[in-house]
């Protein structure tokens, strides 16, 4: 090989590196309609007759799919060629917009109770013709020959000089849904279970509660985070280093249930089982949940949730027992 010459590239020396494949993705185009209806009551039809061809009565604006719409009723018709033989009904785009695609349905309501409404629906024929496109504000869709006026005036659609027109609008919207082909299932949070194990194992506990002679080991930081009253008792007191607190006016089972909720954010099985079988009690105030609520501080975020969970139990109301009244604001 002479100077300046290059070595030949062979299959043995050529190495192609492939970048790792990315997770596959997918997208989906979803086209659907956002539907809404408006009922337009026309009272005093006989007085509206004779107002002139092309003259109309208009409904109040209503909103469907982010656009405002209005119903136009022409007692003498919209088309001069029909010589007031027909009444005309149209739906108009009443807000600013361009190329708004929509489906429509105009219904003249039968007021006899027979349900024989006169329906002009664009929804039924959308497969053949597709949605109607309204180019700008004031664009209309409807029928110049909606109903022959002579027949209308002797029909069940006119009652007490009143007509009722119901309009349904379906605005066409399209969205793109992009997601990974294989979505990752995120497990439910188990932080409550972890804190619950901390309570059961008593690992790192730094305060003990003596409740009627029964000892409960807990953690100051957890209690302070869940209850402003506990936080005040533990950290704002004279002796912040206290290791034990004595509670004399609360049953051990109630305090145990309260600790369970503070740590796990759920009702204990004891509470749920007692409540589900206590519907026959003469006084709801004697139930465990009532005593638990009596020991709760209403200003504590955790306890507000406890009160909501209580509503899922079989009782409609719970009265706190009077002998626990002085516990309010303590826990």
Higher pLDDT, 70 or 27: 70
Are 16 and 151 in contact by the 8 Å Cβ rule? The answer is no
Measured at the CA of 205, the angle between CA 202 and CA 211, to 5 degrees, comes to 80
Q: Which residue has the tokens 């005036």?
A: 153
Q: What is the largest CA-CA distance in the chain?
A: 111
Residue 226 confidence class, pLDDT cut points 50, 70, 90: confident
Range 191-327 classified under CATH 3.40.50.12280: no
Residue 65 CA: distances (Å) to CA of 31, 36, 157? 13, 8, 29
Average pLDDT for the chain: 77
Residue 162, exposed/middle/buried by CB under 10 A (0-12, 13-18, 19+)?
Answer: middle
Backbone angles phi, psi at 274, to 5 degrees: -65, -45
CA–CA gap between residue 46 and residue 76 (Å, rounded): 11
What residue spans define the domains of the chain? 30-174, 191-327
**Which strands, in side-by-side order, build the sheet including 207-211?**
214-218, 207-211, 244-247
Q: DSSP string of 131-153? A: -EEE-STT-EEEEEEEEEHHHHT
Higher pLDDT, 304 or 233: 233
The residues near 61 (Cβ < 8 Å, ≥ 6 apart) are: 68, 69, 70, 94, 95
In which element (H, E) is residue 63 found?
strand 62-64
Residue 283 confidence class, pLDDT cut points 50, 70, 90: very low
Q: Which two tokens stand for residue 154?
A: 């002797």
Q: DSSP string of 203-235? A: TT--EEEEETTEEEEE-HHHHHHH-HHHHHHHH
Q: DSSP string of 158-174? A: -BTTEEEEEEEEEEEEE
Q: What is the DSSP letter of 193?
A: H
**Residue 79 pLDDT > 70, yes or no?**
yes
CA–CA gap between residue 34 and residue 197 (Å, rounded): 49
Q: Which two tokens stand for residue 280?
A: 């026959």
**Residue 313 pLDDT > 70, yes or no?**
no
Q: Indicate whether this model's pTM tops 0.75.
A: no
**Residue 24 pLDDT > 50, yes or no?**
yes
Q: What is the pLDDT of residues 85-126, one digit of tens each?
A: 999 999 999 998 788 999 999 999 999 988 899 998 878 765
Domains 30-174 and 191-327 agree in fold = no
Residue 246 confidence class, pLDDT cut points 50, 70, 90: confident
The residues near 331 (Cβ < 8 Å, ≥ 6 apart) are: 227, 229, 230, 250, 255, 258, 295, 296, 297
Residue 296 confidence class, pLDDT cut points 50, 70, 90: low
In which element (H, E) is residue 322 found?
none
Q: What is the CATH number that goes with domain 30-174?
A: 2.60.210.10
Instruction: Average the pLDDT over each of 138-142, 257-261, 276-280, 310-314 and give the range with the smallest value.
Output: 276-280
């Amino acid at each position: 090989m002479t100077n300046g010459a290059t070595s030949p590239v062979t299959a043995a020396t050529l190495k192609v590196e492939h970048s790792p494949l990315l997770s596959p993705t997918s997208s989906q185009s979803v086209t659907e309609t956002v539907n809404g209806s408006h009922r337009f009551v026309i009272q005093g039809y006989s007085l509206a007759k004779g107002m002139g061809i092309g003259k109309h009565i208009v409904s109040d604006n209503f909103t469907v799919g982010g656009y405002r719409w209005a119903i136009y009723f022409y007692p003498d018709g919209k088309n001069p060629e029909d010589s007031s033989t027909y009444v005309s009904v149209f739906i108009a785009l009443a807000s600013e917009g361009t190329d708004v695609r929509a489906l429509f349905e105009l219904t003249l309501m039968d007021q006899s109770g027979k349900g024989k409404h006169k329906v002009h629906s664009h929804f039924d024929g959308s497969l053949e013709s597709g949605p109607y496109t309204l180019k700008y504000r004031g664009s209309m869709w409807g029928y110049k020959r909606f109903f022959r006026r002579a027949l209308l005036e002797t029909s069940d659609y006119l009652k007490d000089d009143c007509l009722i027109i119901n309009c349904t609008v379906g605005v066409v919207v399209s969205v793109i849904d992009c997601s990974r082909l294989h979505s990752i299932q995120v497990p439910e949070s188990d932080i409550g279970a972890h804190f619950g194990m901390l309570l059961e194992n008593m690992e790192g506990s730094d305060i003990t509660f003596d409740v009627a002679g029964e000892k409960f080991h807990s953690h100051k930081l957890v209690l302070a985070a869940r209850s402003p009253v506990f936080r005040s008792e533990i950290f704002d007191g004279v002796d912040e280093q206290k290791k034990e607190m004595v509670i004399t006016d609360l049953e051990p089972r109630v305090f145990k249930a309260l600790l369970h909720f503070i740590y796990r954010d759920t009702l204990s099985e004891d509470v749920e089982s007692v409540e589900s079988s206590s519907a026959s009690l003469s006084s709801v105030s004697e139930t465990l949940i009532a005593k638990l609520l009596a020991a709760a501080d209403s200003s504590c975020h955790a306890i507000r949730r406890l009160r909501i969970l209580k509503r899922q139990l079989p009782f409609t109301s719970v009265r706190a027992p009077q002998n626990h009244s002085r516990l309010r604001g303590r826990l």
